[in-house]
Amino acid sequence: MILLVDADSLVFSSCYRKRSEFFTDIEQAKAKFDEVFLSMLNDIEEIYDLDDVKVFNGARGNFRKFITPKYKANRTDMERPPLLNDMHYYVSKTYDAINACGVETDDVVARYWYEISQAIGRDQVMIVSLDKDYKQFPCLYYNYHHKHKKVIDITPEQARYNFYEQMIAGDTADNVNYFKGKGVKFAKDYYNGCVTDYQYRRKLYELFKKEYKSKAKEKYSECYNLLKLRTK
């Protein structure tokens, strides 16, 4: 099994002593990261034989912010942990992490997942992350949060639905919401009977036309490109 670990969330959380208190000692932040990371690997190794572990973090630049300035604008007033850059550097050097410019870390992970799954099979590679955006792929997905800690085998049908559901329900973490007041329950009812990509797209575009009239095509494209992870 090859693990693709999106370490961005763990890097961020490792900068905190507790919810509202930052570490000021880099060694304490490093120790917290290492402890959680190694515990996660041990949990997975109880189920799978690991052939390789690839770590991803600290992608710089973001093409989505050129699509709309609203993307992640809800984070501009958030206080940045003082050790965040140092921790990204530590993880990059210590774990030989992969990063990139112009895209987000989850785009890089998505591309690696696609290439590896095409080459050796989807059952030989697993995405490890807290980020629910990966559920748009028919992949093995492991959420290492202490309340979850289980492998989810996402089918092609589930992956298709997950993405089109998000197109309606949005992503509050990234400030993406094109249909205010419409969430997962609305999406489930609205997509009832949809099976193929064509059926989902047709139903979704009808909703965009109702909401945005002459700007439906523009808004549909905007929403799609904000939420769809890049595999190529």
* Whether 86 and 120 share a structural domain: yes
Same domain, 18 and 128: yes
Domain contains 56: yes
Count CA atoms closer than 13 A to 48's CA, side-chain side. Answer: 18
Residue 138 and residue 187 in one domain: no
Question: Domain end: 125, 154, 183, which one?
Answer: 154
Question: What's the confidence (pLDDT) of residue 11?
Answer: 97
pLDDT tens figures, 68-118: 999 998 887 788 899 999 999 999 999 999 998 999 999 999 999 999 999
The DSSP code sequence of 94-119 is HTT-B--BSS-HHHHHHHHHHHHHHH
Asked if residue 64 is part of any domain, the answer here is: yes
Q: What is the pLDDT of residues 21-48, one digit of tens each?
A: 999 999 999 999 999 999 999 999 999 9
Last residue within a domain, chosen from 154, 182, 213: 154
Residues 118 and 213 placed together within one structural domain of the fold: no
Same domain assignment for residues 86 and 9: yes
Structural domain contains residue 60: yes
Q: Are 61 and 169 found together in one domain?
A: no
Residue ending a domain, among 130, 154, 178, is 154
Domain that holds residue 172: 157-227
Quote the CA–CA distance of 135 and 141 in Å, as a whole number. Answer: 8
Asked if 226 contacts 174 with a C-beta cutoff of 8 angstroms, the reply is yes
Written as one letter, the residue type at 162 is N
Checking if the pLDDT of 149 tops 90, the result is no
Cβ neighbours of residue 34 closer than 8 Å, sequence gap 6 or more: none
Task: Identify whether 232 is part of a domain.
Answer: no
Kindly state whether residues 62 and 92 are assigned to the same domain: yes
Same domain for 138 and 44, yes or no, is yes
